[in-house]
Amino acid sequence: MIKVLSITSECAPLIKTGGLADVAGALPLAAADQGCEMRTLLPGYRAIMGKLGQTKKVATFKDLFGGKATLLACKVAGLDLLVLDAPHLFDRDGGIYIDATGQDWPDNPERFAALSFVAAEIAGGMLDWSPDILHGHDWQAGLTPEYLHNAEVQTPFVFTIHNIAFHGNCGGEKLGDLRLDPARFDVDHFEFWGQISALKAGLMGAAKINTVSRTYAEELLTPEFGMGLDGVLARRKADLTGIVNGIDTAAWDPQTDPNIKPFKSPAGKAANKKALQKTFGLAPSDGPLCVLISRLTEQKGIDLLIDALPALLDQGGQLALLGSGDPRLEVALLEAAATHKNIAVKIGYDEPLSHQMVAGGDAILVPSRFEPCGLTQLYGLRYGALPLVALTGGLADTVINASPAALSAGVATGIQFFPVTAPALSNGFTRLHDLYAQPKLWKQMQRNAMKQKVDWETSAAAYRDIYATLVEAGSAQ
């Protein structure tokens, strides 16, 4: 049994802003099947403290970056959690990263440094359970190796990049507040263009780095996708791999999903489509109903979609969209919905509705400019909503484009467009209409999609292999 401490800022089903939560919530259970005992260290945000059930106090801190804190152990939805209850850092209204006005919390550096600090304390033997491996996710866990570097036991740190757009940078004047070693404020550790970078600290201090698809692991090494860290990653190239995400196939199972009219074959989608059109106030139609479920940000290519909509609508297509985020994108989408009867938009976050959309949609859209993995196209595959996606990152690795070769081999599962521009997406819509107009071919693609393996098994085994290699290397020393 390999003991792993997962360090994460979000975790489904307790707290979620995006796919990181899905991964952090699903990996421990999948890793258990591979012989790993994973516990999860999570901040005790106000929004989750009431949902923990029975807790046990396992450690206390008199002064954790400016206040008292307690570490609570509990079990939620089969997950072994260690919740860091630090009211001065996490007991507040608003988002988990941003305040009510949409600004980053000014003390985000301290909040997540504290999380990383506690991870290092746990590795140092603070509890009666010590991990063999520390597995941190994104910049919020990046400083962990800095708090470990003087430790007697050098627990290996595995670092997973879900989104390199966020660096967790702050000014060098915070060195003392963050309890960092000034002697290591240099290019080989956590200094990045004169600032403290939690992300760089993680990248430099990790024994192994991975991101959430193979294509994105390659893209990260280029200036276009590396977001300034391609040089740092090039230094660590030998230790960088891509492991594609799976999905929780129990929560996303078209045959048992309590949110939908369950179905086994593509034919069962018709009743869900009808219900979805009703929910969104769209008229019954013969054309393809496209769905999109997303954070509304620059990354997700929503502006490209708005520009390409005529190519969907002119040929009788419909769009049902659910999302929230950038207010400008929200307004633009609501305007589009107000001017066209075949567009319906819901602004908000709604888990059950997201299931109904994937069940009722003919196609699911993911026009992202970059996408480390992407999960909604995986839900789409499993529910026979064929993905129309940008050819990038995990979208490139998980969808088989309906090229003439893939169609004649009978293996296509969706449509990819490239470059990631509005004209190329428009062209993608034209191809979508063309395929949708050939019901036999479309059904074949749906069957292929629904058969594709999208669970965690293979990827959890890949994580287990990384952990095992590090444990063996450690015991050989």
Residues that bind ligand ADP (CB under 6 A): 18-20, 22, 293-295, 322-324, 349-351, 354, 373-376
Q: How far apart are CA 359 and CA 268, in angstroms?
A: 9
Q: How many residues touch ligand GLC (CB under 6 A)?
A: 14
Q: Are 217 and 237 in contact (CB under 8 A)?
A: no
Binding mask 352-371 for ligand GLC (x = CB under 6 A): -------------------x
Part in contact with ligand GLC (CB under 6 A); list of ranges 183-191, 265-273, 285-293, 372-380: 372-380
Site string for ligand GLC, 176-215 (x = CB under 6 A): ------------------------------------x---
Q: Which does 288 bind (CB under 5 to 8 A by kind): ligand GLC, ligand ADP, none?
A: none
* Cis preceding-peptide flag for 13 (omega within 30 of 0): yes
- Return all residues near 50 (Cβ < 8 A) that are at least 6 apart: none
d(C-alpha 135, C-alpha 189), whole Å: 18
Do 442 and 286 touch, CB atoms closer than 8 A?
A: no
Contact present, 373 and 20 (Cβ < 8 Å): no
Nearer to ligand GLC (CB atom), residue 288 or residue 394: 394
Minimum distance of ligand GLC from residue 425's CB (angstroms):
18
Partner from ligand ADP, ligand GLC, none contacting 323, C-beta within 5 to 8 A by type: ligand ADP
Let me know: does 403 contact 412? Beta carbons within 8 Å.
Answer: yes
| Contacts with ligand GLC, 218-247, as mask; x by CB under 6 A | ---------------------------x--
Look at the block and give the residue holding tokens 């059950």: 352
Q: Which residues contact 405 (CB under 8 A, 6 or more apart)?
A: none
Nearer to ligand ADP, 155 or 213 (CB): 213
* Alpha-helix residue ranges (DSSP H) falling in 64-133: 87-90, 108-123
Token pair for 35: 């012989």
**266, 372, 387, 428: residue in contact with ligand GLC (rule CB under 6 A):** 372
> Of 245 and 277, which CB lies nearer to ligand GLC in the complex structure?
245
396 binds ligand GLC (CB under 6 A): no
Q: How far is the CB of 202 from ligand GLC (least distance, A)?
A: 15
Instruction: Return the SS3 of 117.
Output: helix
Q: How far is the CB of 350 from ligand ADP (least distance, A)?
A: 5
**Residues 275, 316, 306, CA angle at the centre, nearest 5°?**
90
DSSP 255: T
120 versus 395: smaller Cβ distance to ligand ADP: 395
| Per-residue contact flags (x/-) with ligand GLC for residues 19 to 38, judged by CB under 6 A | xx--x---------------
Name the closest residue to ligand ADP (Cβ): 19
20 or 178: CB nearest ligand ADP:
20
Q: Does 323 bind ligand GLC (CB under 6 A)?
A: no
Is 317 in contact with 429 (CB distance < 8 Å)?
yes
Provide the sign of the torsion angle of the four alpha carbons 274, 278, 280, 286, taken in this order. Answer: positive
What is the SS3 assignment for 257?
coil
Question: How is residue 439 written in tokens?
Answer: 């019901």
Q: Does residue 163 interact with ligand GLC by CB under 6 A?
A: yes
The residues binding ligand GLC (CB under 6 A) are 18-20, 23, 162-163, 212, 245, 371-375, 394
